A and B are shown apart, each in its own frame.
Chain A
Amino acid sequence: QQQVKQSPQSLIVQKGGIPIINCAYENTAFDYFPWYQQFPGKGPALLIAIRPDVSEKKEGRFTISFNKSAKQFSLHIMDSQPGDSATYFCAGGATNKLIFGTGTLLAVQP
Protein backbone atom coordinates (compact mmCIF):
# COMPACT_ATOMS: atom_id res chain seq x y z
CA GLN A 1 0.00 0.00 0.00
CA GLN A 2 2.83 2.35 0.82
CA GLN A 3 5.24 1.34 -1.92
CA VAL A 4 6.48 3.46 -4.77
CA LYS A 5 7.96 1.34 -7.56
CA GLN A 6 10.60 3.00 -9.72
CA SER A 7 12.17 1.87 -12.99
CA PRO A 8 14.62 1.46 -14.55
CA GLN A 9 17.27 0.85 -11.92
CA SER A 10 19.91 2.38 -14.18
CA LEU A 11 19.94 4.25 -17.45
CA ILE A 12 22.61 5.34 -19.91
CA VAL A 13 21.89 7.96 -22.56
CA GLN A 14 23.94 10.06 -24.93
CA LYS A 15 24.23 13.79 -24.46
CA GLY A 16 21.12 15.45 -25.88
CA GLY A 17 18.97 12.34 -25.34
CA ILE A 18 15.74 12.27 -23.34
CA PRO A 19 15.95 9.86 -20.41
CA ILE A 20 12.58 8.81 -18.99
CA ILE A 21 12.17 7.44 -15.46
CA ASN A 22 8.91 5.86 -14.40
CA CYS A 23 7.20 5.44 -11.06
CA ALA A 24 4.03 3.70 -9.94
CA TYR A 25 2.27 4.05 -6.62
CA GLU A 26 -0.52 2.30 -4.73
CA ASN A 27 -1.54 4.69 -2.00
CA THR A 28 -4.40 6.86 -3.25
CA ALA A 29 -3.90 9.12 -0.23
CA PHE A 30 -0.70 10.51 -1.77
CA ASP A 31 -1.25 14.18 -2.60
CA TYR A 32 2.26 15.25 -3.58
CA PHE A 33 4.74 13.69 -6.00
CA PRO A 34 8.27 15.12 -5.97
CA TRP A 35 11.40 14.10 -7.81
CA TYR A 36 14.77 14.41 -6.13
CA GLN A 37 18.26 14.47 -7.60
CA GLN A 38 21.17 13.12 -5.59
CA PHE A 39 24.88 13.37 -6.36
CA PRO A 40 27.38 11.05 -4.64
CA GLY A 41 28.07 12.10 -1.07
CA LYS A 42 25.30 14.70 -1.08
CA GLY A 43 21.77 14.91 0.21
CA PRO A 44 18.78 14.69 -2.14
CA ALA A 45 17.77 17.98 -3.72
CA LEU A 46 14.24 18.73 -4.88
CA LEU A 47 14.09 18.90 -8.65
CA ILE A 48 10.40 19.25 -9.50
CA ALA A 49 7.10 18.24 -7.94
CA ILE A 50 3.47 17.81 -8.97
CA ARG A 51 0.07 17.59 -7.32
CA PRO A 52 -2.45 14.95 -8.49
CA ASP A 53 -4.85 17.52 -9.97
CA VAL A 54 -2.34 18.33 -12.73
CA SER A 55 -1.35 16.02 -15.61
CA GLU A 56 1.94 17.67 -16.56
CA LYS A 57 4.42 20.13 -15.14
CA LYS A 58 7.51 21.61 -16.78
CA GLU A 59 10.42 23.39 -15.15
CA GLY A 60 13.28 24.12 -17.50
CA ARG A 61 14.46 20.86 -19.06
CA PHE A 62 12.55 18.71 -16.56
CA THR A 63 8.95 17.53 -17.10
CA ILE A 64 6.70 15.41 -14.92
CA SER A 65 3.87 13.53 -16.59
CA PHE A 66 1.17 12.31 -14.21
CA ASN A 67 -1.56 9.73 -14.88
CA LYS A 68 -3.88 9.62 -11.89
CA SER A 69 -6.10 6.80 -13.16
CA ALA A 70 -3.10 4.56 -13.79
CA LYS A 71 -1.37 5.72 -10.61
CA GLN A 72 1.81 6.37 -12.53
CA PHE A 73 4.10 9.32 -13.06
CA SER A 74 7.32 9.87 -14.93
CA LEU A 75 10.24 12.25 -15.24
CA HIS A 76 11.54 13.36 -18.63
CA ILE A 77 14.85 15.21 -18.96
CA MET A 78 15.10 17.13 -22.22
CA ASP A 79 18.46 17.74 -23.90
CA SER A 80 20.29 15.79 -21.20
CA GLN A 81 23.80 16.87 -20.26
CA PRO A 82 26.72 15.05 -18.58
CA GLY A 83 26.07 17.23 -15.52
CA ASP A 84 22.68 15.52 -15.16
CA SER A 85 24.45 12.27 -14.27
CA ALA A 86 23.11 11.47 -10.82
CA THR A 87 20.65 9.26 -8.98
CA TYR A 88 17.01 10.27 -9.30
CA PHE A 89 14.33 9.38 -6.78
CA CYS A 90 10.60 9.71 -7.12
CA ALA A 91 8.39 9.88 -4.06
CA GLY A 92 4.78 10.02 -2.95
CA GLY A 93 3.72 12.18 -0.04
CA ALA A 94 0.96 11.80 2.51
CA THR A 95 0.56 12.92 6.12
CA ASN A 96 3.84 14.79 6.24
CA LYS A 97 6.11 11.97 5.14
CA LEU A 98 7.52 10.93 1.81
CA ILE A 99 7.70 7.36 0.52
CA PHE A 100 10.60 7.06 -1.90
CA GLY A 101 11.26 4.84 -4.87
CA THR A 102 14.48 2.86 -4.99
CA GLY A 103 16.23 5.28 -7.33
CA THR A 104 17.52 5.40 -10.91
CA LEU A 105 21.20 5.87 -11.60
CA LEU A 106 21.45 8.01 -14.72
CA ALA A 107 24.64 8.34 -16.74
CA VAL A 108 24.72 10.86 -19.58
CA GLN A 109 27.63 10.17 -21.90
CA PRO A 110 29.34 13.08 -23.67
Chain B
Amino acid sequence: NAGVMQNPRHLVRRRGQEARLRCSPMKGHSHVYWYRQLPEEGLKFMVYLQKENIIDESGMPKERFSAEFPKEGPSILRIQQVVRGDSAAYFCASSPPEGYYGYTFGSGTRLTVV
Protein backbone atom coordinates (compact mmCIF):
# COMPACT_ATOMS: atom_id res chain seq x y z
CA ASN B 1 0.00 0.00 0.00
CA ALA B 2 2.10 2.87 -1.31
CA GLY B 3 1.96 6.19 0.47
CA VAL B 4 1.59 9.59 -1.15
CA MET B 5 3.92 9.67 -4.13
CA GLN B 6 5.45 12.91 -5.28
CA ASN B 7 7.74 13.42 -8.23
CA PRO B 8 10.19 14.60 -9.07
CA ARG B 9 11.99 14.67 -5.72
CA HIS B 10 14.24 17.46 -6.90
CA LEU B 11 13.59 19.94 -9.70
CA VAL B 12 15.89 22.66 -10.98
CA ARG B 13 14.46 25.35 -13.22
CA ARG B 14 15.89 28.54 -14.67
CA ARG B 15 14.05 31.78 -14.07
CA GLY B 16 11.16 32.10 -16.48
CA GLN B 17 10.67 28.38 -17.03
CA GLU B 18 7.67 26.33 -15.96
CA ALA B 19 7.67 23.84 -13.11
CA ARG B 20 5.25 20.91 -12.92
CA LEU B 21 4.99 18.99 -9.67
CA ARG B 22 3.02 15.76 -9.50
CA CYS B 23 1.28 14.07 -6.61
CA SER B 24 -0.44 10.67 -6.54
CA PRO B 25 -2.58 10.28 -3.41
CA MET B 26 -2.74 7.19 -1.26
CA LYS B 27 -5.09 4.48 -2.45
CA GLY B 28 -8.58 5.27 -1.25
CA HIS B 29 -7.84 8.94 -0.65
CA SER B 30 -9.90 11.35 -2.71
CA HIS B 31 -8.70 14.66 -1.25
CA VAL B 32 -5.39 16.32 -2.08
CA TYR B 33 -3.73 19.29 -0.43
CA TRP B 34 -0.62 21.23 -1.44
CA TYR B 35 1.65 23.00 1.03
CA ARG B 36 4.81 25.04 0.53
CA GLN B 37 7.71 25.09 2.98
CA LEU B 38 10.25 27.85 2.73
CA PRO B 39 13.64 27.38 4.42
CA GLU B 40 13.44 27.72 8.21
CA GLU B 41 9.64 28.09 8.07
CA GLY B 42 6.59 25.98 8.65
CA LEU B 43 4.30 24.65 5.99
CA LYS B 44 1.89 27.08 4.36
CA PHE B 45 -1.40 25.88 2.92
CA MET B 46 -1.79 26.51 -0.78
CA VAL B 47 -4.76 24.62 -2.19
CA TYR B 48 -7.25 21.83 -1.45
CA LEU B 49 -8.64 19.74 -4.28
CA GLN B 50 -11.01 16.86 -4.84
CA LYS B 51 -11.31 15.02 -8.13
CA GLU B 52 -11.97 17.62 -10.86
CA ASN B 53 -12.73 20.32 -8.28
CA ILE B 54 -10.77 23.03 -6.52
CA ILE B 55 -12.33 23.33 -3.08
CA ASP B 56 -10.13 25.98 -1.44
CA GLU B 57 -7.34 27.91 -3.15
CA SER B 58 -7.06 30.67 -0.58
CA GLY B 59 -3.32 30.08 -0.13
CA MET B 60 -2.38 30.12 -3.80
CA PRO B 61 -0.53 33.17 -5.16
CA LYS B 62 -2.84 35.02 -7.51
CA GLU B 63 -0.55 34.76 -10.49
CA ARG B 64 1.60 32.04 -12.07
CA PHE B 65 0.37 29.22 -9.81
CA SER B 66 -2.35 26.74 -10.69
CA ALA B 67 -3.40 23.29 -9.52
CA GLU B 68 -5.57 20.51 -10.84
CA PHE B 69 -6.68 17.04 -9.83
CA PRO B 70 -8.13 15.37 -12.93
CA LYS B 71 -10.49 12.43 -12.98
CA GLU B 72 -7.61 10.21 -14.04
CA GLY B 73 -3.99 10.67 -13.06
CA PRO B 74 -2.09 12.60 -10.43
CA SER B 75 -2.68 16.05 -9.05
CA ILE B 76 -0.48 18.67 -10.70
CA LEU B 77 0.85 21.89 -9.20
CA ARG B 78 2.02 24.16 -11.99
CA ILE B 79 4.21 27.21 -11.58
CA GLN B 80 4.66 29.35 -14.65
CA GLN B 81 7.57 31.74 -15.21
CA VAL B 82 9.35 30.71 -12.03
CA VAL B 83 11.30 33.25 -10.00
CA ARG B 84 13.97 32.71 -7.34
CA GLY B 85 11.42 33.29 -4.59
CA ASP B 86 9.58 30.13 -5.73
CA SER B 87 12.49 28.00 -4.49
CA ALA B 88 11.03 25.87 -1.72
CA ALA B 89 9.90 22.40 -0.78
CA TYR B 90 6.41 21.62 -2.01
CA PHE B 91 4.52 18.95 -0.12
CA CYS B 92 1.39 17.17 -1.12
CA ALA B 93 -0.91 15.48 1.38
CA SER B 94 -3.92 13.30 0.82
CA SER B 95 -6.79 12.27 3.02
CA PRO B 96 -9.88 10.11 2.90
CA PRO B 97 -13.26 11.80 2.54
CA GLU B 98 -13.41 12.41 6.32
CA GLY B 99 -10.87 15.17 5.79
CA TYR B 100 -7.67 16.28 7.43
CA TYR B 101 -7.95 13.88 10.35
CA GLY B 102 -6.31 11.33 8.12
CA TYR B 103 -3.70 13.53 6.42
CA THR B 104 -0.66 11.74 5.00
CA PHE B 105 2.17 13.75 3.48
CA GLY B 106 4.45 12.81 0.62
CA SER B 107 8.22 13.28 0.72
CA GLY B 108 8.00 16.53 -1.19
CA THR B 109 9.49 18.12 -4.29
CA ARG B 110 12.37 20.46 -3.70
CA LEU B 111 12.29 23.18 -6.33
CA THR B 112 15.39 25.24 -6.96
CA VAL B 113 15.20 28.20 -9.30
CA VAL B 114 18.56 29.32 -10.68
A46 to B26, CA, bound (A): 15
Q: How many residues of B contact A (CB 8 A)?
A: 24
Closest Cβ–Cβ distance, residue B43 to chain A (whole Å): 5
Q: Which of B33, B44, B100 gathers most chain A CB within 10 Å?
A: B100
Check if A100 is an interface residue, CB within 8 A of chain B.
Answer: yes
Check if B108 is an interface residue, CB within 8 A of chain A.
Answer: yes
A96-B56, A97-B56, A99-B45 are contacts. A32–B101 as well, Cβ < 8 Å?
yes
Check if B69 is an interface residue, CB within 8 A of chain A.
Answer: no
Check if B42 is an interface residue, CB within 8 A of chain A.
Answer: yes
Check if A89 is an interface residue, CB within 8 A of chain B.
Answer: yes
Residues of B within 8 A of A43 (CB): 4, 6, 91, 105-108
A89 to B43, CA, bound (A): 9
Residue interface mask B42-67, A partner, CB < 8 A = 1: 11110010000001100100000000
Check if A44 is an interface residue, CB within 8 A of chain B.
Answer: yes
Closest Cβ–Cβ distance, residue A53 to chain B (whole Å): 14
A sample of 17 more A-B contacts (CB under 8 A), given A36-B105, A96-B33, is A6-B42, A32-B100, A32-B101, A43-B6, A43-B105, A43-B107, A43-B108, A44-B105, A46-B104, A49-B101, A95-B56, A96-B55, A96-B56, A96-B100, A97-B33, A97-B45, A98-B103
Name B residues whose Cβ lies closer than 8 Å to a Cβ of A.
Answer: 4, 6, 31, 33, 35, 41-45, 48, 55-56, 59, 91, 99-101, 103-108
